[in-house]
Structure 1
């Protein structure tokens, strides 16, 4: 019985019989041998189409004994009595069609029945009927075949391309990938050449939405794109006509600062003329003669306009006459003013006597009355320092301007007394000028050295007569000295 049991187990192991079931059973443990399995129906003599030809009595006897001793039929493809050394004992089945490996048992994957060509059996008698074709022998499913089968189920092969009518193709058109559906209210126009394409009822975007948003934001931050957009817009404006270009240029070009008239730089020719006049060799050469005031300007007198020099009476008085001529030349641009010369205050400051200066301001001589003016300028000379006093008739106050920041109320009281006498003498009117405000002008541009007081006084008069704010300072004094020399040489204030 031991030999019989071993033979049965060996037979069952040698015939790799697949079980037609799904999913595949788990393989038996390596430490146990596989249990007995039934023989395939192809080896069952009751279901065979053709019995084996001329069976010998020994074979029939062995088959009957095997059937009586076990409920499970023992498969045998052929029994050759000549090959067995013991004819009276049960013979072993023929060797399997495939050789077994010697080193160990062979595992069989019995997951699926794979229909294919039948395995060739060993030479021997067959129990199948000669009239019916031999049944297909099941073949074991290896790892490569199993992977191929799984791929064929999960990823079916694409159908062979065939000619499909256009109508059927339009009905079966399905979008490949839906990335985003976008609705923008009024901007829902969809065109074939734009980024959105309509296929069926789903809007398919050709690119991811995050890429479009990133590109849009990068275009907004890109300075080169902004410059390019501006150039395109400028070209479009240019097509409408050159007359619109004047409206576009102010928006893109910085506005040039207009240089005020008192600070217009001198030309190279003027610079050369002034340099020659101030630094020539002949100091007694006449450079300018002002006939209305009978003032003659020589090089020696004009050289007081050099840097670090004090201004003299001739230069100051001539320049005040030029300012009056400028006012008469452009009355709409300048205030109506009167300019006393440097000797006026000297006559009334020692001991006040109105009769000493009464004939200075006759209407026949001036052509106007002082009461008709807006401002009256009085130069004040204090031994080595020049100051300015202003009778501001327009604002009804007396003002004192000192480039050193000091104040002298005595000067303003004397001028108030003089103005009351002057109005009463020339027009017969009595005004209460003594009650006008007397003040020292604050926030004045002050000198920062010991020789520019005369130049500051002239510029106070120049700016006030033009109704301008005092917007100059110490840094402009060199320029003002050259400009004053130029205006005196030309006998024309600008």
Structure 2
């Protein structure tokens, strides 16, 4: 329905205020049922008095009496009542808050959004290196409770109110400006050497210092060149055989790549891909898929790979160091209750291993810290206890526990007393470190692999994707290369 304009409202108001305009019938009550339309006779015409007949007279009084009679006879008739038409529907949305009806999760404030069961949740984002390091530190270093401090009542410090005089600051600033101006004037007046000569001497001194620095850099570069030339002459005599250096980085064949891709990307997650009978470890596709990128390694994959490294050593004893590889459950069992040697005493009997632990060159102990893999090495060959963490952390407590374990192990198996006080306890320097939040397990395995070859740790983050595929291939073949 349209709104009345101002002119319409004004005309309508004028007509209603006119004395001869009949009053509008009252609005029908909502409770009263509207009657049907009745036939109504046309009302008599209205007679308006002219200005000339304003004075009373016999003719005018007679006309007024006739009009009064006509009006009274007309008012006696019932007023017509019309049935109002139905209200039209609202052609526009209501501007106001509307209630969203929800029944069995069928409604939504956004009509175009899909129900939650048709919207698969996105995969969680992997942790970044900083977030992962903070997570590891929060797990390994829980916060200590803050001791309560008793403050006697009435000894609280009352802040001191200092009044600042703005006028004093302004006077001080003006005095400082005057001192600077006077000092500058004194320099100009008392100058004995022209300004251009001072600037020239200053630039000469700077130039001479730069020339001396360049001369020193040239001499240093010359010495470095001579050192590299001597190293190039000696290097062929100390470089190992070319066949041994690239062995940890031998590229996979196309067939191996296809097999690994099928094993890591298949749909049947419960399918058995490999079974190691000596250790009774079964590898399914779901277990092996931890070797995909951005995944954390699990115990089954790590323990089976360590078994394969021991078998590799037994196949070629002259090519690798004599090592012992504890599984991922050893250290957790050893520190149960603080320190418990008896719980792991029977893990290293000669009948079970075929050799004494003290006869090994290196003993590798994987350490799992809830969300992070680390490595401890009992280096019997060099008389060291070493700690390797791909985040660069150090755990002296773990090295002290392993030192105590070695003393108890030697005494239990051979009856001898070994003194480890002179052995070094150190964190390995210049260690390859991870640059993300998921490759700690792969770094630990490669620390063990390279140390068992008696090689330097010449790998980095860029090799992790290749090492993951190579480890998957070796587990599928049940043979470490």
Name the TM-score, length of structure 2 as normaliser: 0.49
The structure whose residues are more often helix, as a share, is 2
Larger Rg: 1
